[in-house]
Each structure stands twice: as C-alpha cells, then as structure tokens.
Structure 1
Amino acid sequence: MSEFRQFLSEPWFAILTMILAAAILLFIVIPVFAVFFKSFGIGSGGFTFEYYKEFFARSYYLNSLLNSLGAAIISTIVVVLLSVSISLYVTRSTSFLSKFYRGAALLPLVAPPFIFSLSLIILLGRNGVVTSLLNDAFGLEFSIYGFWGVVLAQILGYFPIGYMLVESTMRNMSPSLENASRDLGANQSKTLRKITLPLSQSGITKAGLLVFVMALADFSNPLIIGGGETFIAAEAYLLVVGQQNLEQAAVLGVFLIIPSLIVFIFQTYVMKDSGLETISGESGASNAPLTKRVKSVVMTINTLFVSFIVLMFIMVVLGAFVKIIGIDNSFTLEHFQSRNGWDSLYTSIIVSFLAAILAATIGMLQGYLFARKPIPGKKALEFLTLFGLAVPGTVMGIGYVLIFNGSPFFLTGTVLLIVLNMTFRKIGVGLEASISKMHQIDSSMEEASNDLGAGPYRTFGKVVVPLLSPAFIAGFVYTFMTAMVSISSVIFLIAPGTNLAAVHILNLAEQAQIGMASAMSFVLIVIVLSCMGLLKYIEKKTGVSI
C-alpha cells in the first residue's frame, strides 16, 4: 500500500503511467487475445472448436504447418552453423577481411525480408541469369521456386539476427579458459568443441530460438518464391485478404503465437544472465588466433557465404538499372519512373518518421518511469511492452483488423493505425535503451535538482530528458530503419492511398515486375543503409547500444 501511495504522490507521472499502460493493453495485448478468441469463434456466434477441427482435418493446412516447421528448422540449423563459423574468425582477427565479413554479414538488415527471394528469382528463376546459362550450355531446366527456395531466402534474410547474437557472445567471452586448455595440450579443434562452443551456448541457443520463430512466421518469402507450396503465415494472410475467413486465419495465427510466446518467456526469464561467457570482462579480441587448419575451413565457408550475400545485392542493383536482366542488359532508368513507387516511398518515410518519434518518446518515458518510479506491476508492464517485439507480424496484423475494424475504434485503412502498429511493435527497443541509459545516470543529479526546488517534473524536463537524448535518438533511428522495411503486420492495414514501399515492392515481385521491384528495393536499401550508418555512429559516440 505504501508503494501505491508513493506512486500517487506524483500525480502527473501516475496519470502518464496509467495512460501508457492502457495504450500497451490496447495496441499489444488485446490484439493478441482477439486472435486467440476469434480462433474459437468468440464474437462470431459463440464458442466452438470447429475451426481447429477443420485445421486438423484438412491436409492442406497440416502441410502448411509442416512446411513452415521444416523450413524453420533447416534455416535455423544452417544459420547457427554459419554464424558460428563467421563469428570464430571475426572475433579472432582484426584484419580487413574480418571487417568485410562482419559488414557483409549485417548487410541483409538494410533490406526488406523478402529481398533475397527477388534476387534468387533474378539469378535462379525460370528465366534467371544462371538458369538460362545452364539451359543454353547443358540443356538443364532448373527453378528455385518451391520449398528449398524459401529455405535459402530465409537463411540469407535471417542470418544477421543469429550472427549478431553469436558474435556478441564470443566477443565478450573470457579468453583465459581457452588459453588454459591450450596450455594443457589440447589442440584448437578440441578447445573449440570442449570450451569455446559450450561457453557460447547461451548466445547460440538464443540465436537458434529467435531465428526459428522468425522463419516460422515468415510469409513474404513463401508468397514470392514458394511456387505453390503452402506455408502457415502465408496461408493466414491469404485467408484474410482473399477469403475474409478471419476465424480460420486466427487458428493459423495461434500456431504462430504459441512458439513465439514460449521462446520469449524462455529468453526473458530462463536464459537471462545465464551466460557463462560473462566470467570475465576481457575482450574477445585477445583470444588466440585460429590455427592454419581451422582458419582454412572457416574462411572457405565464410568467403563462399559472404560472396553469395554480396551477389544477391548485386543482382538487385543490376536489376534496377538494366531493362530486363539476363535478356536485355542495356542501361535504363525507366524502372525508377513509377509514380506509384515514389508515392509509396513518400508515404513510408512519413509513416516511419511519425512511428519513430512516437516509439522513441514512449520508450524514453517508460525507461525513466520504470527505472526511477515505484510503479505497481512494473515487471508485468515491462514484460508486455517487450512482448510486442516477439509477436509475429501476421498475428498482430490479424489482431488489428479484428479490433480496429468496427466500433468503437474504426481505424482500419487509416495512416494513423499503421503508425500506431509500427510504434507499439517497436517501443520495446526504446524502452531497453532508456533503461540502460538510466542505469548509467547517478540519481544524485536528480536529487540535487529536487533539493534546489526544481520539483520532479521540472527535474525530468531539465535534467533527465537531456541525459536521455542519446537513447531517444538511437530508438528513433532504429524504429525508422526497421519501420521502412516492415511488412508482415502493416500489409493487413493498408488501403488505397496508403500503400507503403515494402508492400509495393512485394506486390511488384508477385506480379513478376522484377525491374521496378529492384529499383524501389535499391532506393529503400540506400535509405535504410544510411540509417544504419547513423545508428552505428550514435552507438560509438554515446555508448548506447541497440
């Protein structure tokens, strides 16, 4: 009770906290529950298991689940193995090649998640560059469309997520145990198996879980390169936009949200602060360099994979500046002359800017309140805020359609709803950045301001806000960058006149307008790459890591 009284002692902060809590419930929690309830027919005439019976009775839906699980498992295994290989070299070398590997490994972050499907079609599609060469030279007919095309696109697209977690773990690992193993006579291969990989277990596990959930919830790659194979997230999307079957789409959404919730809880509570690599604060750069044998193996793997990533981006650039790549390679700028494309890009910039402002502001406010104020239920509220990052976009999109397509919140098709969707899916990033920054700020500065008569509100405006500005800027840039390439949830919410660049590119790719899709992708990549450069500069100058 004393905590509650203390909470109410500053009424404006208390009111602000309650408003934020209500917003989190409305824009994160309620949409997820709406999908769950809709899967049982609640709101459509009563409680029923009929939609789940239909799911298990029809092989079509079961195959979509099996395909999604199979693709996610294979993608996860390959991504983890590649992440370990590149991380081993990058954390044990300061050469130019190691910096190139790291930069190329992060390159997919600047593109929409389906960009590699587009590149693979240019390279290995039915009329692709390599396909045509093989057909002309050997009479071989080959196509990347289908299950394995989706797997390859997912490996390329989600690799940076796994790599960042594994590389961070290995870089922060204490070199003393590895050195002790070597001193005791173990060769490097044995040291890697017995010491390095076990110490990296937490990062590798987190990477595997996160990549698995993201690959399972992928819907854009199956739409473009699936070649008729069914995948659960893509089917949920088609059920909504094609058949208006929200109940059956909600059932598929439940099968997406359950693994995401399990993984989120596991990472948040079970694996939190459990990594053995934190034994020492020494930098991973002091680890013993790789032996010639191990180095040759990892460099072969790394060079082949990184070269393939770079080749995928080259295909997009070439596709943007030639008439028909592989058929008519004459230079042209006509693909950049689409009025609809530039309009969608303009809309994306405006929407992403507004979402970034909101997300960074809310994240900063929450970070301060959670770090300094005695808020009842603080842990639960923080959990729900961060959970917005874990909810698959398809599920959130369906949930928004269910909640905001009628009274009292009829917002479907408006720019406002798209902005709110992007905002509350990303506020967890600003929250974490602000909490991290607040832990670096000595509370004595605020106490001194209060002692001088400033009061809590003026202290917040004059002392705390300037100190949190690096976290605000970092949260803003990150949200803007990710919102520009976001597609999985906003595609449910667009209406005529509110099309977004990523959605427009997806539609062009589905219609086989490869040149125009490549051109808009190129422009989007340049914008997001600039944001990533700015974000890295902010991290370097302020120490606020996102």
Structure 2
Amino acid sequence: MRFKSTWRRFWSEPGFAVAAIIVAALLIFFILLPLSAVLLRSFGVGGDGFTLEYYEQFFQHSSYFQALLNSVGVGVVTTTIVIFISVPFALYVTRTTNTLSKVYRGLSLLPLVAPPFIFSLSLIILFGRRGLVTNYLNDMLGVEFSIYGFWGVVVAQVLGFFPVAYMMIESTLRSMNPSLENASRDLGASQTRTLFKVSLPLASTSILKASLIVFVMALADFSNPLIIGGETSFLASDAYLLVTGQQNMEMAAVLGVFLIVPSLIVFLFQTYFIKDTDTTSISGSAGTQNATLNKGLQGITFGISTLMTFFIVVMFIMVVLGAFVQIIGVDNTFTLDHFSDQSGWSFIYTSVIVSFFAALLAAGLGLLQGYLTVRKNIPAKKFLEFVALFGLAVPGTVMGIGYVLIFNGPPFFLTGTVLLLVLNMAFRKIGVGLESGISKLQQIDTSMEEASADLGAKPTRTIRKIVMPLLSPAFMSGFVYTFMTAMVSVSSVIFLISPGTNLASVYILNLANQAALGRASAMSVIMIAIVLVCMAILKWLERRSNSGI
C-alpha cells in the first residue's frame, strides 16, 4: 500500500517523473555500469567465465603485489608530508595579517590550474638525467643523482596535491570562533598549548578528511608514476600498460579493483561518519580575526610556508622557461618554435570543445538532479545522490577501463569518439553540479515557487522564470569547475582517445614521456593560461553570488 502511494505521488507530475527516470538511467549507465564491468571482468566474466585465477595471479606475481605496496607506500608518505606542510601553512595564512601571507595564499593554489603531471615535468627539467641541478651535481661535486622512482613520484604528488589539503584545513581554521582560543589564553594557556589543545583538535575532522582525500588521490595517481616513476611499478600506471600494451583486460580490471576499494571505503567513511562535524566550532562570531601567532610559531610556520611556496613557484618557472628556450640547460637560446606545434594547437581546440560540452552537461544534469532531490518526492533519491557523488571519488583509471569494457564493442561502439569523451568527463563531475544545486536550493525559500503556482503558472514556467535565474550562480560554478578539471584530465580519457580525437593533456603527457620537454612545456603554458581565465571567471561569479546580485 505504501509503495502504491509513493508511486502515485511520483507520477502526479509526469514531466518530473520522466526527468527523474532519465537522470537515474544515465547515472546507472555511465557510472555504475562501467564500475560493475570492471568488477565482473576481474572475475573473468565476459571473457573466460567466472574464475579467481586473475586474483591468484595478482598475489603470485611479485610485480603486481609490489605495485600495490608501492602505491600504498606512496599514498602514506605523500599524505603524511602534505598534512605536515598544510597545517603550518594554513596557520600562517589564517593567523597572520601581513601582505606576504595573502600572497602565499594565492600562490598555494597555483597547482590547481595546471595538468596533474606538471611537477613531474619540472622535476625532470631540474633533476632529470640532463637536468639543471643534476648537471651541476655531476660536474661540480661528482655526485650522480636521479629523481626517477619512488621518491620522485612522492615529491611530484606532494607539490600537486598540497592545495587540496591546504584549502580544507585553511577553511576550518579561518572560520573557527576566535573566542575559543581567547578563552584558553585567558585561562593562562600559552599560544602553543592553545594551538595543540584547542585549535588543532577542533580542526581534526578537516585534517582527517584532507588526509583521506590526499591518500586516495596519491594511490590512484596515474600520470606522475608514468612520467617520473622510472622502473618502479604502481597500480594505476601498470593497469594502463596492461590495457594498451598487452590487451590484458582481466588483470587490468584486478588492479582497478584494488584501486577502487580504498576509494569506496574512504568515500563511505567521509560521507556517513565524519560529515560536517566541524561545525560545532563555528558560531555567529566566526570569521573575525584570530589572535596572531607569537614570534616563535610565526617563524616556524613562515619558514615552512616560504619553502613550500618557493618550490611551487620554481616548478612553474621551469615550465615557462622550458617553453621559451631551445633546450633548457643545454641551449638556452630564446625561441617560439615550441608554440608552433600544429598538432598541439589542434588538440587544445579539441580539449576546449570537449570540456565545454562536458561542463554544460555535468552542470545541467547536476542541477536537475539537485532540484529533483530537494524539491520532489522521487524514489531512491539518496541512492542516486550517492551514485553521482561517488563518480567524483572513482579513480580515473578504473572509470577509463570500465568505459573501454562497455563501449569498445557492440552494441555501443563509441571508443575514440568525441561523444564518449564528453560523457566520460561529464559523469565523473556531475556530483559537483549536484552539490552546488542542493546547496543553493536549500537557501531558496519554497514560498517563491508556491506563489508562482498560486498565480496560475505551470511548473515548467515556474522553473524557467523563478528557479533557473536563482540557480544560475550554482550552474556557472559547476560549469567552470568541470571545464577546468576536464581540460587537465588524463587518467580516464587516455583510454578513450583516438588519433583524430586526441586531447591536449594526453598529448602533453606523451611529449613528456618522449622527452620533448620544450613542446610539452609550451602546451602546458597554454593550458595553464586557459584554466587561469576560468578561475578568474569562477571568482567573479562567486563575488556576484555572495553580493546577492
């Protein structure tokens, strides 16, 4: 009886019911189905029939098991270093008032606008076999040095993933109620004791969330191990080589399963166990200025922040210099030849087109799902929300393998088409539009829509005239974020490209692997410029939204 009542309410508005069914079908088809295909293929389903043989091979072959250990090891080491840098960096930015802290805050976000492997590219320019620093060490000190391998991947990941942890911790420390720290100081506690007994414990949830996210990102990292990993094996890069080099989809699927299980565990833990528990530290006075650090703590945090900012800036400078000289460190003659790569410009154009339509689809469908979730009584909306958000947590390598398994044969032969690239990027980021839509709708009083209905407007007219204008900032936020991330995406789309539909990020990755550092640097500079423009647009939209315009 309850089922009939729910079903009747669901179909009381046929248009929204159909929309909900379409959204649910798309989420299942483009997120759940590829993941299910990877899991089933790891057991031989779709190939030789159900078997545990491939899991046995995984544990019997030392190279596969070593790849797992290396990936976990890199994840643990990278996460530890990132957190130990992010906490003092966030403290310096939020607990000092000088201009330098504001500059550091802006520079710390630079890695977000670059392809994920740009730091590997910079490290090779500096510390590769013919790198600037390597040549100096060899010539002057007679020391042989190589950045390739486990520690090269760690350094590249620390530089690349640092902003993710920093932003989460900085946001909590900045919004913390100053009276909590002031009360501790009034009771006689030193600032150091207040920091370790009050401030950091209150930020512990954000620190934990940041640690989990960075660990999963490091574990699933694809491009850095491929470029700078040398002969050291890692799960994500080995899975790619199994697909492209050996056509061994079963073993690639097994490696994909070992990538997705930690992601699923972290996603569930973060979503259902530690969600929003930091809000108890925030009150009406949050956002006012906290007490500045004493000289000792300011000196320590300043030193760590300066060192990190220096490395980030140097890495970007190396890429820019590499784009404008013949061979950096060997022939430093100024040139623009690296920018005359016609193939590169063609791939950048393709990337812009694919990213634009992916962003349009992700933002639009995400907002539609958000509206259905918040305003309409649809069945299984929590499950569908989970699926959309989980798409953000799935390692790109796994999603890429899943799309190959589903769309590389009849009846859906789409591999190598622009359409599949758009769909892959869109459904990996649809959760961003969903979260933006839900957040904005919760701020909009339903009385506005009810008033429109009372005046005789049809639901479609109410949405077009009332809801859509109010949701435009959320749409643009989801659009710009998806566009930015799609432009620099590598791990998923590298499985789906063809010679006619190659993308700039994949092209740069291939150039780096071929040691064509000048052309790779030039294409990276162009991509960074495009993404910086997108970030400027996003900031402008945020200011408009916050001002109520």
Coarse TM-score class (shorter-chain normalised): over 0.9
Q: Check whether the contact 2:175–2:282 (CA below 8 A) recurs between aligned residues.
A: no
Q: 2:335 aligns with which of 332, 335, 343?
A: 332
Q: Is the aligned partner of 1:132 residue 2:130?
A: no
What whole-Å deviation, never above 9, does each CA across 1:69-96 have from its counterpart, x for those lacking one? 1111000011111110111011112321
Return the alpha-carbon distance in structure 1 between the equivalents of residues 351 and 547 of structure 2: 26
In structure 2, the partner of 1:159 is 162
Deviation of 1:105 (Å) = 1.0
Greater alpha carbon shift after TM alignment, 278-287 vs 446-455: 278-287
In structure 2, the partner of 1:219 is 222
In structure 2, the partner of 1:37 is 40
* One-letter code aligned to 2:433: G
Q: Check whether the contact 1:118–1:316 (CA below 8 A) recurs between aligned residues.
A: yes
Q: Is the aligned partner of 1:68 residue 2:63?
A: no
Q: 1:443 aligns with which of 440, 443, 446?
A: 446
In structure 1, the partner of 2:104 is 101
* One-letter code aligned to 1:322: V
What whole-Å deviation, never above 9, does each CA across 1:274-331 have from its counterpart, x for those lacking one? 2255442433442111000000001011101111100000000000000010111110
In structure 2, the partner of 1:522 is 525
Q: 1:481 aligns with which of 472, 480, 484?
A: 484
Q: Check whether the contact 1:36–1:251 (CA below 8 A) recurs between aligned residues.
A: yes
Q: Check whether the contact 1:165–1:203 (CA below 8 A) recurs between aligned residues.
A: yes
In structure 2, the partner of 1:542 is 545
In structure 2, the partner of 1:289 is 292
Deviation of 1:225 (Å) = 0.5
Q: Structure 2 matches for 1:352-501, cutoff 5 A? A: 352-501=355-504
Q: Check whether the contact 1:93–1:285 (CA below 8 A) recurs between aligned residues.
A: no
**TM-score normalised by the chain length of structure 1:** 0.98
Q: Check whether the contact 2:11–2:17 (CA below 8 A) recurs between aligned residues.
A: yes
Return the alpha-carbon distance in structure 2 between the equivalents of residues 282 and 81 of structure 1: 28
In structure 2, the partner of 1:503 is 506
Q: Structure 2 matches for 1:181-192, cutoff 5 A? A: 181-192=184-195
Deviation of 1:441 (Å) = 1.1
Q: Check whether the contact 1:199–1:276 (CA below 8 A) recurs between aligned residues.
A: no
SS of the residue corresponding to residue 378 of structure 2 reads coil
Q: Is the aligned partner of 1:90 residue 2:106?
A: no
Q: 2:325 aligns with which of 310, 318, 322?
A: 322
What whole-Å deviation, never above 9, does each CA across 1:107-160 have from its counterpart, x for those lacking one? 000001100000000011111111112222212221111110000000001111
What whole-Å deviation, never above 9, does each CA across 1:18-61 have from its counterpart, x for those lacking one? 00100000000111111011100011121100000000001101
Return the alpha-carbon distance in structure 2 between the equivalents of residues 434 and 267 of structure 1: 20
Q: Check whether the contact 1:404–1:411 (CA below 8 A) recurs between aligned residues.
A: yes
In structure 2, the partner of 1:305 is 308
Q: Structure 2 matches for 1:142-221, cutoff 5 A? A: 142-221=145-224
Return the alpha-carbon distance in structure 1 between the equivalents of residues 376 and 287 of structure 2: 37
Deviation of 1:350 (Å) = 0.4
Q: Is the aligned partner of 1:110 residue 2:113?
A: yes
Return the alpha-carbon distance in structure 1 between the equivalents of residues 77 and 285 of structure 2: 34
Q: Check whether the contact 2:202–2:281 (CA below 8 A) recurs between aligned residues.
A: no
**In structure 2, do the counterparts of structure 1 residues 165 and 246 end up closer, same or farther at CA, with 3 Å as the change threshold?**
same
Q: 1:27 aligns with which of 23, 26, 30?
A: 30
Segments of 5+ residues of structure 1 without an aligned counterpart are none
Return the alpha-carbon distance in structure 2 between the equivalents of residues 275 and 470 of structure 1: 26
Return the alpha-carbon distance in structure 1 between the equivalents of residues 190 and 522 of structure 2: 50
In structure 2, the partner of 1:230 is 233
Q: Check whether the contact 1:173–1:281 (CA below 8 A) recurs between aligned residues.
A: no
Deviation of 1:540 (Å) = 1.7
In structure 1, the partner of 2:353 is 350
Greater alpha carbon shift after TM alignment, 131-140 vs 262-271: 131-140
Return the alpha-carbon distance in structure 2 between the equivalents of residues 347 and 145 of structure 1: 32
**In structure 2, do the counterparts of structure 1 residues 2 and 95 end up closer, same or farther at CA, with 3 Å as the change threshold?**
farther
Segments of 5+ residues of structure 2 without an aligned counterpart are none
Deviation of 1:273 (Å) = 2.2
Deviation of 1:544 (Å) = 10
* One-letter code aligned to 1:47: F
Return the alpha-carbon distance in structure 1 between the equivalents of residues 337 and 403 of structure 2: 37
Greater alpha carbon shift after TM alignment, 505-514 vs 286-295: 286-295
Calculate percent identity across the aligned residue pairs.
66
Return the alpha-carbon distance in structure 2 between the equivalents of residues 307 and 392 of structure 1: 30
Return the alpha-carbon distance in structure 2 between the equivalents of residues 279 and 159 of structure 1: 25
Return the alpha-carbon distance in structure 2 between the equivalents of residues 303 and 126 of structure 1: 28
* One-letter code aligned to 1:59: S
Deviation of 1:454 (Å) = 0.7
Deviation of 1:530 (Å) = 1.1
Return the alpha-carbon distance in structure 2 between the equivalents of residues 285 and 118 of structure 1: 41
